[in-house]
Amino acid sequence: MSADIETVLRNTLTARADLRIDAADPWQHFVAGERRHRRNRRLRIGAGAVVGVTALGLAGAGFIPVPSWTPAITLEQATSPLREEPTKGSLADDVGWLAEFRETVPALLAETWAGDSDGHWRVEDTGEVRVLFAGDVFDDRLVVAVVPLRIGLLRAETTVWFRGPAGAAPAELHEDGSSGALTTASVSRLDVEDGVGHALVLAPAGTRAEVSGGVTYRADGTIERSWTELTTAPSGEIAGTVPVRGQAHALRIALPGGDFEPDNWHMQGGEVLGLEEFEALVDQATSELDAAHRHLAGAVLPFALAEAGLDWNATTVTTLWAGEVQGQSALLVAAQPRDGGVLLFAPREAVPTGGGGEQVSQLELRLLAPADGAYSRPYAWRVRAEEDDTAESGTVVVVAPSTADRVEIQRADATTIPVSIDSTGTGTAELPEADRATVIAYAEDGRVLGETPIPPLDTGYSPIPGETEATSVVLAAH
């Protein structure tokens, strides 16, 4: 985890960090681009730094001397009820171990947070380190702590995870991720190892939590999940394991007196299974394309398919269209699990990230469609704005089936926009962001070959197509 002043202030102002990645490694381009939003949720510290940001940044970086006694400006203060909960875990009552851990925190963070004089965050007061959890779980020793940090005039708190072997002394731990200031009622994590998800939830007493290891993409275009309830240990933490596929696992939490709600803020770690196998499927499906499109497919699709929790041994991958969008290589690819619905993925090469000029390949469309008619209907998706990849440009890309004679977009008010389709089977149209619309393809005799709602821009964090209106034909149609 990086905590240098440039990164922290950029995250504070834009709520988004833009990765710098070697352009020679397209795989890492895509992985970084698709995980950027989730990572930013964990790293951002708050919007308070807008006030006096230039002077504060210079002071923090050491250009303006700041006496140690100078009062700090707090960026974001922890407000979670967990601050009032007793420490959880098997080491909760080991006063000596916890005291040693607090004193060790600056050394544990030293590799990434050098010290205030070097322009990095420092631990302000080890006595103020608040340990939420400490104990052995899943053959590891884990500690979760709220750590007070300071750089120049800026002060912040961040929730840091530490990990080591079971029974480890504090000095044997290492930093294993962070999730920003403690502003949520629960803190949770789901790690994957050898196809097993290990879930840990810290929440107020009386909380219930459930974990799901994956989804089933049904032929009717909906998804189905099964849930396993986690067990509350005598020491207060909630934990359990579940078999998982890809990154399709999920947590949901019911706080005391409340209903289950998706826990979209949990930390994630571990492996993604099936990447090599999906690489082979993608290579086969794109073998007849030119080098640029094969490059794009290999950079984006294996990870997207694995992350969606598909079984590579029971999935068929088909290229529906290859061409260009605004001068950039683009694809529309279908992946269908056996007896299931059809997942559509539309990657585009070198989409600007809107930050420091860096560019990554990313998905413009992830969509779950019913199996019936999936390969004969038209599809359309909204193009991301060049200056901000979370906003729409107003342009819609349309891909028509090969048998289509004409294509049109029908707005909710029944007005239509004709779409001119080129020799590759694609066209574009202008459609304002707020307009709900459907793309319709017609045969030469006027018959409707198929129609598909145009989903809103996918700006969500879930890797699972079909969970939101932006990624589901069924939900977008209602």
Domains 187-270 and 275-476 agree in fold: yes
Pair 379, 332: CB distance under 8 Å:
yes
pLDDT digits (tens, 9 = 90+) for 354-405: 444 445 567 899 999 999 999 999 999 999 887 777 788 889 999 999 999 9
- The fold of 187-270 is Immunoglobulin-like (2.60.40)
Is the pLDDT assigned to residue 149 strictly greater than 60?
A: yes
For residues 169-197, average pLDDT: 89
d(Cα 328, Cα 292) in Å, to the nearest integer?
10
Here the tokens at position 360 are: 């990554």
For the chain, the distance separating the N- and C-terminal CA atoms, rounded to the nearest angstrom, is 42
How far apart CA 176 and CA 309 sit, in angstroms, is 24
What is the per-residue DSSP string for 232-252?
EPTTS-EEEEEE--TT--EEE
Higher pLDDT, 132 or 58: 132
Mean pLDDT of 10-21: 31
- Structural domain boundaries in the chain: 5-178, 187-270, 275-476
Strand-strand pairing, 187-193 and 267-270: parallel
- In this structure, are residues 162 and 241 in contact, taking their beta carbons and an 8 Å threshold? no
Strand spans (E) along 18-91 = 73-74
Can you say whether the dihedral through the CA atoms of 436, 442, 447, 450 is positive or negative? Answer: negative
Look at residue 45 in the predicted model and tell me its pLDDT: 28
User: How confident is the model at residue 77, as a pLDDT?
Assistant: 64
pLDDT for residue 62: 40
Alpha helices by DSSP H, 262-355: 275-285, 291-307
Neighbours of 386 (CB within 10 A): 12
CATH of 275-476, one of 3.30.450.20, 2.60.40.760, 1.10.3720.10, 3.20.20.140: 2.60.40.760
pLDDT at 1 over 80: no
State pLDDT tens for residues 199-222.
999 999 999 999 999 899 999 999
- Alpha-carbon gap, residue 463 to 468, rounded angstroms: 11
d(CA 312, CA 316): 8
Q: What is the pLDDT of residues 248-286, one digit of tens each?
A: 888 999 999 999 998 877 777 766 778 899 999 999 999
